[in-house]
Each structure stands twice: as structure tokens, then as C-alpha cells.
Amino acid sequence: MLYLKTDEEVGLLRESNMLVSRTLAEIASFIKPGITTLYLDNLAEKYIRDHGGVPAFKGYGGFPKTLCTSVNDEVVHGIPSDYVLKEGDIISIDCGVILNGWYGDSAYTFAVGEIDGNVKRLLEYTKVSLEDGVREAVAGNRIGDISYAVQARAESGGYSVVRELVGHGIGKRLHEPPEVPNYGRRGTGSKMEKGMVICIEPMINLGKKETVQMKDGWTIKTADGKPSAHFEYAVAIDKGEAKVLTTFKFIEEVINKM
């Protein structure tokens, strides 16, 4: 059942999502060759708890860690481990928190040192496809308008859109209706109303769209072994213009200083 949020509730969701944004910025300076994904996970959990939050992913459906750390051809849901980041890797970090009973959820794909130019372009297109989707996230439009915008931008760069995984509503639960696919047709899907809060999260592949699930039951990889990128915003639907509850500003301030 769709749950429309009041302005006050949207404000609480903004606080939760700002904690996610600041958590991702906190670990951004540590993303470099020689660091393990488990080290990043421990940093994130400490930061979230120190700021009054609870890691939303830890224990969710049995997931064992605070972050999803997905490296190179891992699309999403990678489990932090003793894997040591190396020059040229990319790593998607998806983070969720619970703060005052409300969920926050965001993802950012980081470059580890200098990365291949083709992979850098994939990251740029994926991020812009997210921004294109956000522009469609206004009252009166339909979910398919977001889906179409994301797909059109990604495919204009020669990339493919993952089909099996989608964005979602968010609020008192991590995953609420409606689903928000990253592919689709304009004018289809649920009509958006003020008070809906959704996560838009393009997962875009350098190669083909097909994916496979690993034996750990969580990690999703590209079937062809080529890199995948993932960016995610939490967005409150409003009239005229969406309210983005997440920000990448803090992350990019850290990256630009490195």
C-alpha cells in the first residue's frame, strides 16, 4: 500500500538520508589502493552509530554487513570482505541507515586511483542518467517517465540497463511501493503524487544487461564480466520539482581534495 508522507515526515527522511550522505563522505577519503572493503564497512558502522543511527542493511534479510561494496563487475549487494582495493578498480558503495525510525538509502560509485577512460565515462553517464530521472520525479508524472529518462540517457552512451533490480519507495521501511525500474516507457506506471518518497538508482553496465547471482546469495555480477556502475538518490515527489533528500556534495568535496 502506498504511503504518502507529510512535509514533517519528509523532513525526517531528509535527516536520515543526510546521515547516509555524510557516512559515504566519511569513508570517501579512505577509498584507495591497499584498503579492504571490510575496513570501509567498519568505518561506516562506527560513523552511523556515533551519529545516533543504526545500520539499515545489517541483518536485513540476513545481510551480514553495514555496506554493500560492489567492485568492478559486481553490480550490487557485494559483501564487505578482505578484498584489497587496487589501482583502477571501481567500487559501488550502497549505504542505508535508520534514524528516528526513518530510513535513508544512497549509493555512489567511486574510482580507486586512476581508472580506465571507458570506465570513467560509464560512471559519468550513470550519474547523469540519475539526474535525468530526478527531473521527471514530479507530481502528475508517472514512474515510467523516470524509467524512460534513465534508460534513454544510458543507452545514448552505448550502455545497458540492468533489468532484474529496481529502485523503490522508502519511509518507515527500507523498501516500500512503488518499484522504480530504470527502463520503461513514458506515460506508464503509477502516477506520482506529492508525499511519495522514492529511491532512484540506475545500475548501468559497460557491456550487456544480463546479470548472475553469486553463491553467497547476495552478490549480483554482470554476466559478461564487464564493469557496472550504480548511483542512488532518495527523492521526495513534489509539484514542479523533486526534493532530493540525498546529496553527493559532501562526497565530491572529499574526492576533489584527494
Whether the per-residue pLDDT at 1 is higher than 90: the answer is no
State the average pLDDT over residues 213-221: 97
State the average pLDDT over residues 223-252: 97
State the average pLDDT over residues 165-178: 97
pTM for this entry = 0.98
In-domain check, residue 120: yes
In-domain check, residue 112: yes
In-domain check, residue 134: yes
Domain around 125:
7-257
For 74-85, the pLDDT digits (tens) are: 999 999 999 999
- Average pLDDT over the chain, rounded to whole? 97
In-domain check, residue 57: yes
In-domain check, residue 110: yes
Report how far residue 43's alpha carbon sits from residue 158's, in angstroms, rounded to the nearest whole number: 36
In-domain check, residue 1: no
Structure confidence at residue 248 (pLDDT): 98
Whether the per-residue pLDDT at 231 is higher than 90: the answer is yes
State the average pLDDT over residues 173-200: 97
SS3 letters across the chain? CCCCCCHHHHHHHHHHHHHHHHHHHHHHCCCCCCCEHHHHHHHHHHHHHHCCCEECCCCHHHCCCCEEEEECCEEECCCCCCCECCCCCEEEEEEEEEECCEEEEEEEEEECCCCCHHHHHHHHHHHHHHHHHHHCCECCCEHHHHHHHHHHHHHHCCCEECCCCCEEECCCCCCEEEEECCCCCCCCCCECCCCCEEEECCEEECCCCCEEECCCCCCEEECCCCCEEECEEEEECECCCCEECCCCHHHHHHHHHC
In-domain check, residue 72: yes
Q: What CATH number has the domain bearing residue 43?
A: 3.90.230.10
State the average pLDDT over residues 142-162: 98
In-domain check, residue 2: no
Give the closest residue to 92 by CA, choosing from 76, 80, 113, 79: 76
Structure confidence at residue 97 (pLDDT): 98
Structure confidence at residue 142 (pLDDT): 98
How many domains does the chain fold into? Answer: 1
Q: Please give the share of the chain, as a percent, with pLDDT higher than 70.
A: 100
State the average pLDDT over residues 190-195: 96
For 15-70, the pLDDT digits (tens) are: 999 999 999 999 999 999 999 999 999 999 999 999 999 999 999 999 999 999 99
With bands split at pLDDT 50, 70 and 90, how would you rate the model's confidence at 258?
A: confident
